[in-house]
Structures are given as structure tokens and as C-alpha cells.
Amino acid sequence: MKLTEVEDNMKKTIEATQRSFNTIRTGRANTSLLDRIVVEYYGTETHLKSLANISTPDSSTITIQPFDKTSIGKIEKAISLSDIGLTPNNDGQVIRLNIPPLTKERRQELVKLAAKLAEEGKVGIRNIRRDGIDSVRKQEKSSEISEDEARNLQDNIQKLTDKYIAKIDELLAVKEKDITTV
């Protein structure tokens, strides 16, 4: 495994962690809250954003306008069954989600959720480090690389690990600030 492969995998983990953070509700309406919602549409699991135009007309409302009006009930059901904690209002044409202001307790719960997602990202980074170091050790055992090269590669992998874990910590700090800001 090359150092560039290790770094690319770590970058992908950072991106996945950022996407997870985007699905956490803050006090403002954000269309990324609905990114994980999947709707049963003609027997196929389809992402909501493929079925409807999603917009935020103001800071406390998300509107969902289905391309196919017959799917409005299925979309409403999928939102109701999801874990976002919002109740859809359907007027036959458009679904509206009103984002209530967050209570202090709810903000604390969301900060804990963000910390959990950050920890999952860190575990992913550490797993990539472990795989990279195992690969280097195998190369060293099979005499593909020298002991010095192996030690140097392992040090570089550790430096990358430290760098990307620090990035996750930065993302978490930004998300916590976003959640706790009223």
C-alpha cells in the first residue's frame, strides 16, 4: 500500500464525516438534513433529492416539491419514519417542514451525536493507519523494502493519521459551535 493510497483513504473518511455532520440539525433550515432520506418509489429505494426539488425559503422552513405529485404521500411517510424528528405538512402540492428552535437539552444531545460521529471518523482513520502499517510490515518481511524504509513509511503514516484526526477535531469544533449558537 502506497502512502498516497493511505492519504486518499483518509481524505475519503474526512469527507464522509463531513457529510454525516451535515445531516445533524442545527437551529436553521438546511436541505442536507434530508440527504439520508430514502423513499420507496415504484418498488425501488430512491433518495429524496432524486424525487423532489428541495429548498429553504426561510431560515426555519424546508419545502419539498415532488416532481411526481403522486409520490407526495410516500415522501411524507418516509420523512415521518426518519430520525430527523420533524413533522411534514402536506398541502397536496408541497411538503413543508418547520424547523422549531432547539432547546438547550436538544442542543446537548446533538453535540453528543456530533462527537459520536467524529469518533467514528477517527476510528476509520485509525483503521486505515493499521492497514497501511500492516502492508508496510508485509513488504518488509518479504524483503521488498528495507527496515529503514519501513520505519520511515510507518512514521509518515503516523504523521498522516495525526493530521487527519486533527482535521476531524476541527470539523467537530465547528459543528459544535454551529449547534450551540442560538
Confidence (pTM): 0.71
Q: Cell 477535531 appears where?
A: 169
Domain with CATH 1.10.132.20 in the chain: 3-22+103-180
pLDDT of residue 70: 87
pLDDT, one tens digit per residue, over 21-52 is 887 867 677 788 888 888 888 888 888 888 89
Q: CATH assignment of 3-22+103-180, given 1.10.132.20, 3.40.50.2300, 3.30.420.340, 3.30.70.2190?
A: 1.10.132.20
> Average pLDDT, whole number, for the chain?
89
pLDDT of residue 180: 84
Instruction: Please tell me what DSSP assigns to residue 94.
Output: -
Domain with CATH 3.30.1360.40 in the chain: 31-98
Grid cell digits, residue 151: 520505519
pLDDT, one tens digit per residue, over 98-151 is 888 778 888 888 899 899 999 999 999 999 999 999 999 999 999 888 989 999
Give the pLDDT band (50/70/90) at residue 1. Answer: low
**CB-based burial of residue 146 (10 Å sphere; 0-12 exposed, 13-18 middle, 19+ buried)?**
exposed
Higher per-residue confidence, 168 vs 43: 168
pLDDT of residue 10: 94
Domain 31-98 has CATH 3.30.1360.40: yes
Left, alpha or beta for 116 (phi > 0: left; psi -120 to 50: alpha)?
alpha
